[in-house]
Chains A and B, each alone.
Chain A
Amino acid sequence: MLEVDDIHVYRGRTYVLKGISLRVTRGEIVALIGANGAGKTTTLRTISGLLHPRRGHIRYRPEADGPELELDRLPAEEIVRRGISHCPEGRGIFASLTVRENLLVGAYLRRDNRGIEDDYRRVCDLFPILGQRAGQAAGSLSGGEQEMLAVGRALMSRPRLLILDEPSLGLGPLVVETLFATLADINRRGVTILLVEQNAVMALELAHRAYVLETGRVTLSGSGEELAADPEVRRAYLGGA
C-alpha cells in the first residue's frame, strides 16, 4: 500500500534521514520505534507531505487494484485528500475551536454532510467523552481526552492509512491501554495504521510488524513478536530484562 524507498531528508541544514526504506501492507499495523532523534517523526512528516525528501521516493496505492501515486512531491493538503491522515506529534488539536469543530475540521475536504454527521456520531461512540464535551473549547480537555480528539479528528477524513505520532505521550497507563485497544479496533474495521511510539512494549504488542530506527537509518525490522524477542531491542528499548 505504501512504499518508502530510500528517502533522504534534511531539516534546514541537518541531514536527518539517511536513506530510510519501509513498507506498509494493506490492513497492517506497522510501528516505528527508536530513540529520540532517530528520525521517526521526520519520516512521518515526509510521508504526509510536510517535508519533502531530497532523494528517494514514496509510492502509495490507495486502492488495492488502483493506480500507484508518487507522494514525494505532493503538498500535505493534497496527500490528505488521497486517504492518508496524520495525527501529529503533540496532538496538535486546535485549542480555541470547540471539540465538535475540531472533528469537523478533520472532515474539511469532504462535502457529504450526511456522511460527515454519521462519522461524527461514530467517533463519539468510539470516544463518548468527545460527544459529551462537543461544545467545549478543545483546550479545556485533559491530555488523554485531547489525544482521543486528535485520533477522532484524524478518522473524520475517512483515511485508508492512519499515521499516528506518539499517541501515548504523556498519558497514564490506563488511558494508553484503552487507546491502544481502540486503535486495534479501528484497524480491524479496515484502516491501515503506521505509528511511531516511545512506548516500545505497547507498540510491539499492537503492531504486526515494526522497524527500528537509529540516527536516520533502519537498523532492524520484523514482526512485533520477533522484535520483542530480539536481545538488542530488549536491551535498548524494552528496559533490559
Chain B
Amino acid sequence: MGGGYIAQQIVNGLILGSMYALVAIGFSMIYGIIRLINFAHGDVVMIGAFVTLALMQVAGLPFVLVAAGALAAGAVVGVLIERGAFRPMRGAPQVTGFIASLAVSIMLQNLGILLLTAQPRNFTFPAALQKVINAGPVSFRVIDLVIMLSALGLMVLVMLLVKRTRLGMAMRATAENLDVARLMGININRTILAAFAMGSALAGIAGLMWGGKFGQIDPLLGYVPGLKSFVAAVIGGVGSIPGAILGGYILGLAEVLFVGLLPPIYSAYRDAFVFGTLIVILLIMPNGLLGSDKGERA
C-alpha cells in the first residue's frame, strides 16, 4: 500500500465529500432558520439527478445549461416543499414538521417509482467529461475535477451570500429570532423561502454530480446520501454552514479511507462505520465540531 494509493484514496474521498458537503449545507441552512430537519432533502438530490438525465440525455442541452437546470430544479422543489409541507405546519410542535417532511420524502420516492419505474438508469456524461486525467500517481476523470471545483465554488458563493449580502443578513437575523426579525421589517416568509431555495439548489446540483460519479440513478438514490449528509451536518454542528462543509469532507474521506485501507472483508461495513463516527463525535462534542450550544432559539 504505497503513498500513491493513499493519495488516490484521498482524492476519491474529496470527490465524495464535496457532494456530501453540498447536501449538508442545505440541511444546515434549513435547520438554522426553522429548527427543523427536512427529511425530504435527500430526495431533492434524486430529482436533480433525473432532471440532469432529462436535460442532458433526452434534450441534449450543453453541460452548462444542464447544470443551471439542476440548480433551478432543486430550488423549485425546495420552494414547493416549504410551501406545501413546512409553512402550513409553522407554529406546530417540532415533531409535526419532522413527520411532514418524512411524508414528503416517501411521497417523492414513490412518485419517482410510479413515473420513472424503479429500474436504475444509466447515466452517460459526454466523452469530454469522461476523459481520464493522470496526475502522477493519481488519476481521475474530468467530471471528478468539475465536481470538486464547482462544489468548492458554490460553497464559497453561499458563504459570501450569507456573510455579505442584505439577504444573508436577514437570514442570519431570522435564524436567531423570528419575532425580532419581523420587528426589523424582515419578511420572514420570504427569507425562509430563500433558505429553502438556496439549500435545495445545492442538493439539485449534487444530484447531477451523483449521477456523474456513479453512472447510474434510480428513484431511491437520494435516501442514503441524504442520510449521510445529514450525519455530515450533525458532525459539523447542524446550523453552521462551515460546519456542514467540514463534516461533509470528513465523512467522505473517512468512508473512502475506511474501505480503501482496511482489508476488503470489512468494506461491507462502510455505512456502519459512517454512523459509528457520528456516535463517537457526538459523544465527545455534542454540538458537533463547529456548532454552538445555542441550538435552541431563545
Q: Which residue numbers of A lie inside 8 Å of B, CB to CB?
A: 48-50, 75-77, 80-81, 85-86, 88, 90, 92, 94-97, 101, 104-106, 108-109, 153, 157
Complex alpha-carbon distance, A92 and B187, angstroms:
17
Indicate which residue in B173, B294, B298 contacts A105 across the interface (CB closer than 8 Å).
B173
Q: Which residues of B contact A80 (CB under 8 A)?
A: 183-185
Residue B177 is within 8 A (CB to CB) of chain A in the complex:
yes
Most buried by B among A49, A76, A109: A76
Indicate which residue in A48, A77, A94 contacts B173 across the interface (CB closer than 8 Å).
A94
Q: Which residues of A contact B179 (CB under 8 A)?
A: 50, 76, 88, 92
Complex alpha-carbon distance, A101 and B292, angstroms:
20
Q: Evaluate contact between B182 and A76: CB separation under 8 angstroms.
A: yes
Q: Quote the shortest CB–CB distance from A10 to chain B (angstroms).
A: 15
Interface string of B167-190 (1 = CB under 8 A from A): 001101100110110111111100
Q: Evaluate contact between B169 and A109: CB separation under 8 angstroms.
A: no
Given contacts A50-B183, A77-B187, A86-B183, contact A92 B177 (CB under 8 A): yes
Q: Which residues of A contact B176 (CB under 8 A)?
A: 94-97
Q: Quote the shortest CB–CB distance from A43 to chain B (angstroms).
A: 15
Q: Which residues of A contact B182 (CB under 8 A)?
A: 49-50, 75-77
Q: Quote the shortest CB–CB distance from A184 to chain B (angstroms).
A: 23
Q: Evaluate contact between A92 and B180: CB separation under 8 angstroms.
A: yes
Q: Evaluate contact between B184 and A105: CB separation under 8 angstroms.
A: yes
Q: Which residues of A contact B177 (CB under 8 A)?
A: 92, 94
Q: Evaluate contact between A81 and B180: CB separation under 8 angstroms.
A: no
Count: A-B pairs, CB below 8 Å: 62
Q: Evaluate contact between B186 and A96: CB separation under 8 angstroms.
A: no
Q: What size tier do the contact residues of chain B reach?
A: 10 to 19
Given contacts A88-B179, A92-B179, contact A97 B172 (CB under 8 A): yes
Given contacts A95-B176, A95-B294, A96-B176, contact A105 B169 (CB under 8 A): yes
Complex alpha-carbon distance, A139 and B176, angstroms:
11
Q: Quote the shortest CB–CB distance from A56 to chain B (angstroms).
A: 21
Most buried by A among B170, B177, B188: B177
Q: Evaluate contact between A48 and B183: CB separation under 8 angstroms.
A: yes
Q: Which residues of A contact B185 (CB under 8 A)?
A: 77, 80-81, 108-109, 157
Most buried by B among A95, A96, A97, A108: A108
Give residues 136-184 of B contacting A (CB, 8 Å): 166, 169-170, 172-173, 176-177, 179-180, 182-184
Give me the 8 closest cross-chain CB pairs, A-B, nearest first: A92-B180, A109-B185, A76-B182, A80-B185, A94-B176, A108-B184, A108-B185, A86-B183
Quick one: closest B residue to A76, CB to CB?
B182
Mind listing 7 A-B residue pairs with CB under 8 Å?
Answer: A50-B183, A80-B184, A96-B176, A97-B176, A101-B172, A105-B186, A108-B166
Given contacts A101-B169, A104-B169, A108-B170, contact A94 B183 (CB under 8 A): no
Extra contacts besides A105-B173, A108-B185 (5): CB < 8 Å: A75-B182, A92-B183, A96-B172, A101-B169, A104-B169
Q: Quote the shortest CB–CB distance from A1 to chain B (angstroms).
A: 19
Q: Quote the shortest CB–CB distance from A210 to chain B (angstroms).
A: 24
Q: Quote the shortest CB–CB distance from A109 to chain B (angstroms).
A: 4
Q: Which residues of A contact B172 (CB under 8 A)?
A: 94, 96-97, 101
Q: Which residues of A contact B169 (CB under 8 A)?
A: 97, 101, 104-105, 108
Complex alpha-carbon distance, A104 and B170, angstroms:
10
Q: Which residues of A contact B298 (CB under 8 A)?
A: 90
Q: Quote the shortest CB–CB distance from B218 to chain A (angstroms).
A: 41
Give residues 176-213 of B contacting A (CB, 8 Å): 176-177, 179-180, 182-188
Complex alpha-carbon distance, A95 and B176, angstroms:
8
Q: Quote the shortest CB–CB distance from B42 to chain A (angstroms).
A: 28
Complex alpha-carbon distance, A92 and B176, angstroms:
9
Given contacts A95-B176, A96-B176, contact A105 B170 (CB under 8 A): yes
Complex alpha-carbon distance, A75 and B188, angstroms:
11
Q: Evaluate contact between B180 and A88: CB separation under 8 angstroms.
A: yes
Quick one: closest A residue to B174, CB to CB?
A94
Q: Quote the shortest CB–CB distance from A136 to chain B (angstroms).
A: 16
Q: Which residues of A contact B180 (CB under 8 A)?
A: 88, 92, 94
Complex alpha-carbon distance, A1 and B187, angstroms:
26
Q: Evaluate contact between A76 and B183: CB separation under 8 angstroms.
A: yes
Q: Quote the shortest CB–CB distance from A103 to chain B (angstroms).
A: 11
Quick one: closest B residue to A84, CB to CB?
B183
Q: Quote the shortest CB–CB distance from B35 to chain A (angstroms).
A: 15
Quick one: closest B residue to A153, CB to CB?
B184
Given contacts A50-B179, A92-B177, A97-B172, contact A106 B184 (CB under 8 A): yes
Q: Quote the shortest CB–CB distance from B168 to chain A (angstroms).
A: 10
Indicate which residue in B173, B183, B188 contacts A97 across the interface (CB closer than 8 Å).
B173
